[in-house]
Amino acid sequence: MQAFTERARSYEHEDVVFDPVHYLPLIEKKINALDQAAPLTGWELPEEFATLRRLMEARMIKAGRREYVQVLRLLETFEMADLHAAVKTALRMGAIGFDAVKHLVLCQVEKRPPKLDLDVYPYLPRAEVGKTSAASYMCLISEEAR
């Protein structure tokens, strides 16, 4: 679990340093501010987080955005490396939801195997991502273009 860390400070004139995690509770309440919030500008998250957000929003729109912020709020307690590993596992399992990610991050920290039976959680949809072969696009090209 994350220990108390010193906040970043700047002593430059009119310089502002934001800690994105500090603002997540407010953004969770005002979810429409997620994309415009200055404290989150420039926050570099691993690409799996963007994938998780896209899948959550596709499933539940505004509620999915709020659930995504709940996942980010796990950074209040856990290290980024542990949460990132949990998000990757959730995506691989197709367990797209806050409850699943929270379970997986706890398992990551406690060094125990996850016991996430998706049959017990029917509200966690399984994400099925199909692969498209390049040959399937050939039918889109006209005879003249070939």
Domain assignment present for residue 10? The answer is: no
Domain assignment present for residue 5? The answer is: no
Bigger pLDDT: 139 vs 77: 77
Domain assignment present for residue 127? The answer is: yes
Domain assignment present for residue 73? The answer is: yes
As a whole number of angstroms, the distance between CA 21 and CA 71 comes to: 11
> Containing domain of residue 113, as a range?
20-140
Residue 20's closest CA among 10, 1, 34?
34
As a whole number of angstroms, the distance between CA 90 and CA 52 comes to: 9
Domain assignment present for residue 136? The answer is: yes
Q: What is the pLDDT of residues 2-19, one digit of tens each?
A: 443 444 554 454 445 578
pTM of the predicted structure, to 2 decimals: 0.70
Domain assignment present for residue 103? The answer is: yes
Residue 101's closest CA among 123, 82, 128, 120?
82
Give the least confident one: 17-21, 66-70, 79-83, 140-144. 140-144
Domain assignment present for residue 2? The answer is: no
Domain assignment present for residue 52? The answer is: yes
User: How many independent structural domains does the chain possess?
Assistant: 1
What is the band of 143 on the pLDDT scale with cuts at 50, 70, 90? Answer: low
What pLDDT sits at residue 17? 54
116 touches 102 (CB < 8 A): no
As a whole number of angstroms, the distance between CA 6 and CA 113 comes to: 32
What is the band of 104 on the pLDDT scale with cuts at 50, 70, 90? Answer: very high
What pLDDT sits at residue 19? 85
